[in-house]
Structure 1
Amino acid sequence: MTDIRTPRLLLRRWHDDDLLPLSEIQSDPVVMQWIGDGRPRSLDETAQDIEEWEEEWDEEGFGLFAVELLGSGELAGAVGLYVADSPAEIADRIAISWRLARVLWGQGYASEAAHAALEFAVQDRGIDRVVAASRPGDSASANVLDKLGMQAESTVQDPVHGHDLRLYAIDLTEFQG
């Protein structure tokens, strides 16, 4: 089992008791507005998300971590790596993603967790390139991507949901972990 500690966070695999807190996070329309089709996720959809993330861990050796606040043990959200399936420009590449409880926004947690996930990618898994997709207008995510040193490469249309996506990438051989 892979646990990563940062100064304020624990990134770990998923536990059964994470379902309800993550469902609360993913049921918030403001949290989910920039993710996928932009709609909140139900309890069943959240359970499916966790199941898929855990399967990716088992199959790929990486996935989205549960992010826990060290001080309180509270689930803050999810961050980590996944194999992108679309758009075609990044399909089958390793991508980074995150979602955190809205009450925790603006405190640097997303950047801290995502930075730890990139360190894990290069140091523990030998991954040399990571991509990301962000919707234009999602300035908070763009800010995190900038702090990670990811470079915008192009804008494409999401083939599933029809909105624009800004694609980013980072060469981890130059990553300053």
Structure 2
Amino acid sequence: MTLVTDRLILRRWTDADREPFAALCADPEVMEFFPSLMDRTQCDTMVDRIMLRTEELGYGLWAMELRATGEFVGFTGLAVPSFEAHFTPAVEVGWRLARSAWGYGYATEAAIASLDDGFTRLGLESVVSMTYVHNGRSRAVMERLGMRRDEAGDFDHPLVPEGNPVRPHVLYRLTAAEWAARGTSP
């Protein structure tokens, strides 16, 4: 399956995506709100897990490339959180982009396509998104998507070690009815 927007192609991962993904995850600015940078082995393991989950579920975190150039610039899509929390089970919309792709609205554009797919093709009733409490860039994308913050849902991320400053997370939600009322499509 492939999702196409005006400027982006969201597609299954290939082995050619592994090197640029590892570079993205080794960038301190990209990974500012994550517990640590990721090495190549960790990135390859993550890509393998994404590919497997996409095969199992029929959706996932899609590799994102620019239509104009074919350049890999990150990922976006839908995923099932791999941890237990008060709001799971759930489906999450998420993204991670190379610094060179920041500031162009790609995360929002790709997330709109992913949400539209989730609410139409997959028939999801709701989607969540989460980030470190001070990650203003991701929170702005969530708000542009029409997601609303669930202050009662804020939590300490269980996969982030205790004492790590990026452990406190905010939770945002969006229902299919809210999406339909917004009238947004890619």
Instruction: State the TM-score, normalizing by the size of structure 2.
Output: 0.89
CA shift for structure 1 position 126: 1.1
Per-residue deviation, residues 117-152 of structure 1 (Å, max 9, x unmatched): 101111221112101111111110010000001110
CA shift for structure 1 position 87: 5.2
Which segments of 5 or more consecutive residues in structure 2 lack a partner in the other structure? none
User: Which residue identity lines up with residue 15 of structure 1 in the other structure?
Assistant: T
Q: What is aligned with 1:145? A: 142
Q: How does 1:27-176 map to 2 (within 5 A)?
A: 27-35=26-34, 37=35, 39-86=36-83, 88-154=85-151, 155-161=154-160, 162=162, 163-175=167-179, 176=183
Taking the aligned partners of 2:157 and 2:9, their CA distance within structure 1 comes to: 32
The percentage of aligned residue pairs carrying the same residue is: 32
SS at match of 1:52: helix
Which segments of 5 or more consecutive residues in structure 1 lack a partner in the other structure? none
User: Which residue identity lines up with residue 7 of structure 1 in the other structure?
Assistant: D
CA shift for structure 1 position 70: 0.5
Taking the aligned partners of 2:159 and 2:96, their CA distance within structure 1 comes to: 20
User: Which residue identity lines up with residue 3 of structure 1 in the other structure?
Assistant: T
Taking the aligned partners of 1:89 and 1:34, their CA distance within structure 2 comes to: 22
Q: Which has the higher contact order (CA 8 A, sep 6+)?
A: 2
CA shift for structure 1 position 160: 2.9
Per-residue deviation, residues 47-100 of structure 1 (Å, max 9, x unmatched): 111111111111112110000001110001010111113351232210111000
Taking the aligned partners of 1:60 and 1:151, their CA distance within structure 2 comes to: 26
Q: What is aligned with 2:15? A: 16
CA shift for structure 1 position 103: 1.4
Please say which of residues 26-35 and 92-101 is displaced more in the overlay.
26-35
Post-superposition, which runs of at least 4 consecutive aligned residues in structure 1 deviate over 6 A? none
User: Which residue identity lines up with residue 56 of structure 1 in the other structure?
Assistant: R
Taking the aligned partners of 2:79 and 2:107, their CA distance within structure 1 comes to: 16
CA shift for structure 1 position 116: 0.7
Aligned residues: 174
- Given that 1:26 and 1:41 are in contact with CA atoms closer than 8 Å, whether structure 2 keeps it comes out as yes
